[in-house]
Structure 1
Amino acid sequence: MNPQFKKGILELCVLVIVKQKDQYGYELAQNLTEKIAIAEGSLYPLLRRLTKEDYLQTYMAKSTEGPPRKYYRLTDEGERYMETLIHDWNIFQESVNHLIKEVYES
C-alpha cells in the first residue's frame, strides 16, 4: 500500500482502535499492523501528539509480564474528533470512488 495513503489515515485508525478498548503502545501497534503494515516508529510520535491535543489520555496499569504499562484511552474530545474524521473520510472515499468510476465507465 502507498505509504502516503497510510500516513494520511493512520490517525483515524488509531482513534478507532483505541475507542474499541484502551490499549498500551505495543498492543496498539500489533492491532494496527494486523490491518495496515506500519512502522512502529511512526506510531509513538502520533500517540504523543494525540495525547498533547487531548484526543487521548494516558494512565499506568500493572502488567503480569513486567513493569507497569502506559495505556491510551479516547477522551470525549477525541471521540468527537474521530467522528469528524470518519465523516470526512467517507466524503473523501465517495469522491475518489466516483472519480474512478467516471474514468473507467467512459
Structure 2
Amino acid sequence: MGKQVTEMLKGTLEGIVLAILSERPAYGYEITAWLRDQGFSDIAEGTIYALLVRIENRGFVDVEKVPSEKGPPRKVYSLNDSGREHLAEFWRTWSFLAERLEQLRDGAAPA
C-alpha cells in the first residue's frame, strides 16, 4: 500500500471494522486476516487490536471470551445497538464525502 492509501485508511478503519462486525462476530486476528485477504496487506495486527480496545471502550461492541484451542480465551467482538448507530452515521458521512469527491473529480468544483 502506498503512503496515501495508508493515511486515508487511518480515517476509515474504524468504520471498516464496524462494517465487518455488522456481518458477524469476530476476533482480532480474524479481522486482520480478512482485511489482508481484501488487499490491506500492510495492516498490522496491533493496529486492529488497539482499534478494538477503543471501540469496546466507546461502547460500540459487546465482548465475549471464547475458549481457544491454543492459548488464552479469545475475545470475540459483536456489534451492539450503539455500534450499529455509529456505523450508520459512518455510512452517511461516507456517502456525503464520496458524492462530493465524485463531483470534484468530474470537474464540478465550486466557483
| Separation of aligned partners in 1, 2:84 and 2:12 | 16
Structure 2 segments unaligned to the other structure (5+ residues): none
Aligned-pair CA distance for 1:62: 2.2
Match of 2:24 among 3, 21, 33: 21
Query: Which residue is 2:70 aligned to?
Result: 66
Does residue 51 (structure 1) correspond to residue 56 (structure 2)? The answer is: yes
The one-letter code of the counterpart of 2:70 is G
Query: Which residue is 1:92 aligned to?
Result: 97
Query: Which residue is 1:82 aligned to?
Result: 87
Structure 1 segments unaligned to the other structure (5+ residues): none
| Separation of aligned partners in 1, 2:98 and 2:49 | 27
| Separation of aligned partners in 2, 1:44 and 1:62 | 18
TM-score (norm 2): 0.85
Q: How many residues align?
A: 102
TM-score (norm 1): 0.88
Q: Which consecutive segments of 4 or more residues in structure 1 shift more than 4 A?
A: none
Higher helix share: 1
SS in 2 for 1:73: strand
